[in-house]
Structure 1
Amino acid sequence: MDGSQGRIEDAPVEPAAVRRFLADNPEFLREDDGLLEELGLKLAAGNVVDFGPAAIARVHAAHQREAMQRQQLEEIARANFSAQAQTHGAVVDLLDARDHADLAARLDHLAQHRFGLAAGVIAVEGERAPDGWRSLVEGQVGMVLGDHGLARMGVLPIAHGLFGPQHGEIRSVALVRMAIWEPSQQGLLAFGSADPEGFTPDMGSELVAFLARVVERTAERWPVL
């Protein structure tokens, strides 16, 4: 008998059973002042259990969560606005380029001094690349981007060679495919960061892709000699 009772006491309490017990025995909760205090409850007039303290605590917690979420959204909005403003300023600088070499130099300068990155380069497939651009072998753009299509972001050691002497500083990259001139030559706009978390796969590539389109249109002003 004792062993049986021990097993019953050790059995887990089912929430449904507790609910049924309290519904059938409401005085159990109303008459236990210690339990009410532990639960943060108190009796109001008419023997109604007042959930005021517990409800207030829940409302306060919900308010704190909403405030944190609103703060996070505001921080994201400010960061996006800043990034867009920096990108628009970069576009103006790129459009002032005088030739291919100046365009590449401006892009690298923008990457370092406007965006705080390690480097920015323009690369194109083919036997000859304009001055200041990186030369790629045929098919290298597809090999670097893999199945990612138009853009790829994150830690990608295979792309570090694009940055020439600065490759040792690169820890993460943002790459966007380009198509320049007629007949079309495949190329890449590449930004490198010294921070492994500078570019991550879950980041949006819209602003980098926008800069790539600007570089494409600007580069087509001048013929490839």
Structure 2
Amino acid sequence: MTAAPEARTPGDETAALKARIAAEPALILDDRELMQALIAAGAPQGRNVVDLRGALVGRLESRLDQLSRTHRSVIAAAYENLAGVSQVHRATLALLDAESFEAVLAALLDETPAIIAVDAARLCIEVDDDGSDPAAGLPSALAERVVALPEGGVAAYVALGDAPEREGVWLRPTPPEAELLYGDEAGRLGSEALIALDLGDGRVGVVAFAAEDARRFSPDHGVDLVVFLGGVISRVLRRRLP
């Protein structure tokens, strides 16, 4: 014989409902229709409605704070991006205005670092075994920042560390071997951007921009502007390289 189901009183159902709400208040707080109904009920319904109103206000304030923080982050990122675009445009104009190889190097190694706010720049070009020097005839202030590398030297340097290559760009902390490019300056430099150059006629090169700030160039940063600048540098150098 099947036992009859135990009868539940209205008091039992009320207690069960209270327990469920206490355990999962989000059932009400996240339900717009329920909250509107409770708020519309007004203060005469007693303290419980007021408490729920307070909880709702607290939750809305929390969400508003989160939205405000997100909004500020988006605005800051937009301004930073606009500043970056402006810097790259100015550097591009400086490079395009150069009318000789020496002028290109001055724009690349002096003006561009100042414009994009980095602390060091190097142009690295692989040379043949015949001892040709891409910096021959240049003023010493420029020549010392044009680095002649042996065949395979560019690939060997960019392979240092574990930063990924993205569209011919590496953004990373400066490796212990950074002295190969920056000489005595290497010790104060914390991060670098390496940009592969298409110099034509089988010539291999890379331009390196380095900053003292270790967070200036990071693998998780975007590379669109850096890729664009690299394209400009490659085109200008192809026309001016001796």
Retained in 2: the 8 A contact 1:111–1:119? no
Q: Aligned pair 1:110/2:111, yes or no? A: yes
- Aligned AA for 1:180? L
Partner of 1:24: 16
Partner Cα distance (2:18, 2:113) in 1: 71
The letter for the 2-side match of 1:64 is D
SS of aligned partner of 2:239: coil
When the two chains are superposed, the root-mean-square deviation of aligned CA atoms in Å is 2.9
- The one-letter code of the counterpart of 2:16 is D
The count of corresponding residues between Structure 1 and Structure 2 is: 192
Per-residue Cα deviation, 1:101-149 (whole angstroms, up to 9, x for no partner): 3222211223442122111121111133422321111112111222734
Shift of 1:220: 1.3
Q: State the TM-score, normalized to the length of structure 2.
A: 0.70
> Deviation above 3 Å: which 4+ runs of structure 1?
20-23, 43-49
Residues 3-152 of structure 1: matches in 2 within 5 Å?
23-24=15-16, 26=18, 44-45=43-44, 49-50=48-49, 51-127=52-128, 128-131=132-135, 132=143, 133-146=146-159, 148-149=164-165, 150-152=168-170
How far 1:172 sits from its partner (Å)? 1.0
Runs of 5+ unmatched residues, structure 1: 1-19, 30-42
Structure 1: distance between partners of 2:74 and 2:214:
24
Q: Deviations over 1:77-117 (max 9, x none)?
A: 00000010011011000111232232222112234421221
Give the Å deviation of 1:191. Answer: 0.1
* Unpaired stretches in structure 2, ≥5 consecutive residues: 1-11, 22-41, 136-142
CA contact (8 A) 1:118 1:192 kept: yes
Equivalent position SS for 1:220: helix
SS in 1 for 2:220: coil
Percent identity for Structure 1 against Structure 2: 24
Residue 168, structure 1, aligned to residue 181, structure 2: no
Cα distance change of structure 1 residues 25 and 48 upon mapping to structure 2, 3 Å threshold: farther
Secondary structure, in 3 states, of the residue corresponding to 1:154? Answer: strand
Bigger shift: residues 167-176 or 84-93: 167-176
Q: Do residues 194 (structure 1) and 212 (structure 2) align?
A: yes
